[in-house]
């Protein structure tokens, strides 16, 4: 079976909420359907074992704690989930429990007009676009000594403090793994949000990463900063997310690929539904401060995509500098 034109089919599917078109995108490029699954925003769910809290975030989302039999069933596949998960509704966004204590700070984060936010679902080429955008803005001639600094310090993952246990001891490696935090926030307590505080303290020009959907961020975001959103073929996202979830100990997935794909298509992985996440970005596609990048286009025509990024970011790089990126 010939592979469909990814961008054309995907845009049609998101515009029309066309479930069949999105299912086509889960096809194996050479051998037909490998995982014939379907995306549906209205996934039925059982609430029998869902504890509800009367906690409403500043974003307007209600916090629901996933516990009981449902959480026990999830832990059989995800050995890294030592705490309960939470769902934020509307949207059914699935996150680690600690996020509820960080959510309002992330929502109220003081963005600067010079900021660039890299917003993606998991495993859509995030690390690649982080290195690209940071280099274009901070290291176009490959002579910035900060390039040797860990990527997480150069481009902080703003909500990643939810992975750091709240009861982590002061000498925990979780709280000492950021040299930039120690340098820029010498008097701050990392338990108050290491990467959140680092994001605040970074000097201009800041580039900050998030896997949150638009609806969990302040509605003024796009009017304040430039956002680069990366989209990738769903089948590739699912496969890469599966591999990552098996290797990352704080997720620790132990099940089969088929079972993982079921979690993926039902929106029961961290960050929730891929389709809903992308749909929120697609609905904002005409905003001048939003730049959509398709992972497959970036692979097929790297220089062409870098020139588009250069125009959007206003970095005014030469082809020689872009080739170095």
When comparing pLDDT for 7 and 139, which is higher? 139
The phi and psi torsions of 236 (rounded to 5 degrees) equal -70, -35
- Distance, in Å, from the CA atom of 230 to the CA atom of 10, rounded to the nearest integer, reads 13
| CA 148/CA 150 separation, integer angstroms | 6
pTM: 0.85
Q: Do 239 and 149 contact (CB within 8 A), yes or no?
A: no
Q: Report the pLDDT value the prediction gives residue 24, as an integer from 0 to 100.
A: 43
Which pLDDT belongs to residue 11? 52
Q: What residue spans in the chain does CATH classification 3.40.50.300 cover?
A: 109-231+279-324
Instruction: Work out the percent of the chain whose per-residue pLDDT is above 70.
Output: 83
CATH code, 109-231+279-324: 3.40.50.300
- Return the sign of the alpha-carbon dihedral for residues 211, 213, 215, 220: positive
- Give the pLDDT band (50/70/90) at residue 49: very low
Q: Is the dihedral of CA 149, 154, 157, 161 positive or negative?
A: positive
- Tokens matching residue 37: 């699954």
Pairing relation of β-strands 85-89 and 62-66?
A: antiparallel
Q: Can you give the pLDDT at residue 21?
A: 42
Q: Please state the φ and ψ torsions of residue 276, each to the nearest 5 degrees.
A: -65, -35
pLDDT reported for residue 30: 41
State the pLDDT at residue 7.
Answer: 54
Instruction: Check residue 69 and give its pLDDT.
Output: 94
Q: What is the pLDDT of residue 172?
A: 75
74 pLDDT above the threshold of 50: yes
DSSP per residue over 98-141, as a string?
GGGGTHHHHHT----TT-EEEEE-TTSSHHHHHHHHHHHHH-TT
* Mean pLDDT for all residues in the chain: 86
> Starting at the edge strand that comes first in sequence, how are the strands of the sheet with 207-210 ordered?
207-210, 116-120, 226-231, 290-294
User: Does the pLDDT of residue 18 top 60, yes or no?
Assistant: no
List strand residue ranges (DSSP E) for the chain, in order: 27-28, 32-33, 50-56, 62-66, 85-89, 93-96, 116-120, 207-210, 226-231, 290-294
Question: Average pLDDT for residues 128-153, to the nearest whole number?
Answer: 96
Measured between alpha carbons, how far is 104 from 320 in angstroms, rounded to an integer? 43
Question: In the predicted model, what is the mean pLDDT of residues 62-81?
Answer: 95
Q: Is the pLDDT of residue 234 over 50?
A: yes
According to DSSP, the β-strands at 207-210 and 27-28 are: unpaired
Residue linked to tokens 């010079």: 114
Question: Which tens digits make up the pLDDT trace of 247-305?
Answer: 999 999 999 999 999 999 999 999 999 999 999 999 999 999 999 999 999 999 999 99
Select, from the ranges 40-54, 145-159, 168-182, the one with the highest average predicted confidence (pLDDT). Answer: 145-159
pLDDT of residue 41: 36
Tell the residue number behind the tokens 């870098």, with chain if given: 306
> At 177, is the pLDDT very low, low, confident or very high (cuts 50, 70, 90)?
confident
Task: Tell me what pLDDT residue 165 has.
Answer: 82
The pLDDT, as a whole number, for residue 64 is 96
């Amino acid at each position: 079976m010939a592979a469909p034109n990814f961008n054309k089919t995907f845009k049609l599917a998101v515009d029309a909420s066309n479930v069949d078109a999105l299912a086509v995108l889960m096809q194996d490029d050479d051998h037909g359907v490998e995982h014939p699954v379907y995306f549906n925003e209205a996934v039925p769910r059982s609430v029998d074992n869902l504890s509800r809290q009367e906690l409403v975030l500043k974003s307007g989302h209600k916090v629901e704690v996933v516990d009981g039999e449902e959480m026990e069933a999830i832990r059989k596949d995800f050995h890294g989930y030592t705490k309960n998960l939470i769902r934020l509704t509307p949207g059914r966004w699935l996150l680690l429990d600690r996020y509820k204590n960080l959510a309002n700070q992330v929502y109220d984060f003081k963005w600067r007009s010079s900021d660039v936010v890299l917003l993606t679902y998991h495993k859509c080429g995030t690390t690649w676009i982080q290195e690209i955008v940071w280099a274009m803005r901070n290291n176009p001639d490959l002579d910035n000594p900060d390039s040797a600094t860990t990527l997480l310090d150069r481009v902080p993952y703003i909500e990643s403090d939810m992975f750091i246990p709240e009861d982590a001891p002061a000498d925990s490696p979780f709280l000492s793994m950021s040299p930039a935090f120690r340098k820029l926030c010498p008097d701050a307590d990392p338990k108050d949000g290491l990467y959140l505080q680092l994001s605040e303290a970074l000097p201009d020009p800041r580039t900050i990463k998030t896997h949150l959907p638009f609806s969990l961020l302040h509605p003024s975001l796009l009017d304040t900063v430039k956002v680069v959103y990366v989209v990738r073929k769903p089948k590739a996202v699912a496969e890469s997310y599966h591999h990552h979830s098996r290797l990352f100990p704080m997720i620790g997935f132990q099940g089969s690929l088929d079972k993982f794909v079921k979690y993926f298509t039902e929106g029961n992985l961290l960050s929730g539904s891929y389709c809903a996440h992308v749909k929120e970005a697609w609905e904002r596609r005409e905003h001048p401060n939003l730049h959509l990048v398709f992972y497959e286009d970036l692979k097929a025509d790297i220089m062409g995509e870098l020139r588009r990024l250069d125009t959007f970011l206003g970095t005014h790089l030469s082809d020689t500098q872009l080739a170095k990126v």
